[in-house]
Amino acid sequence: EEASCTIACFSGALYKDGERTAFDVKKCTGCGLCSLACPYGVVWTDKIAHKCDLCEGRAEPACVATCPANALTTDYELASRRERARAARAAAKGGRR
């Protein structure tokens, strides 16, 4: 499945590389559309786009390994369950996420 940020990236700087989304800084125009399209908040711009690469080459990302609250995960199924539970709690209270 194509990531929303790669669909928004008209320059081809963000692209699918197997199972992950990769980034080619040389192709980035800095338009920021990828950042707006990313539902996870892992793409940001500072005149050019930056994308979390999950600390490629490490066993796990540094942020996950050092998070004192153990709130970060690369277990996407767990993250999805957490998000659905958060949304259900908000809906039960009559509010939005």
- The model's pLDDT over 33-88, given as tens digits with 9 standing for 90+, comes to 988 998 888 888 777 677 788 888 888 888 878 777 676 777 776 667 777 888 88
Taking the alpha carbons of 65, 2, 50, 53 in that order, is the dihedral positive or negative? positive
Q: Model pTM?
A: 0.50
Q: Is 8 helix (H, G, I), strand (E, B) or coil?
A: helix
pLDDT band at 8 (very low <50, low <70, confident <90, very high): very high
Range 15-21, long-range pairs (CB < 8 A, 24+ positions): 20/54, 21/51
State mean pLDDT over 23-36: 88
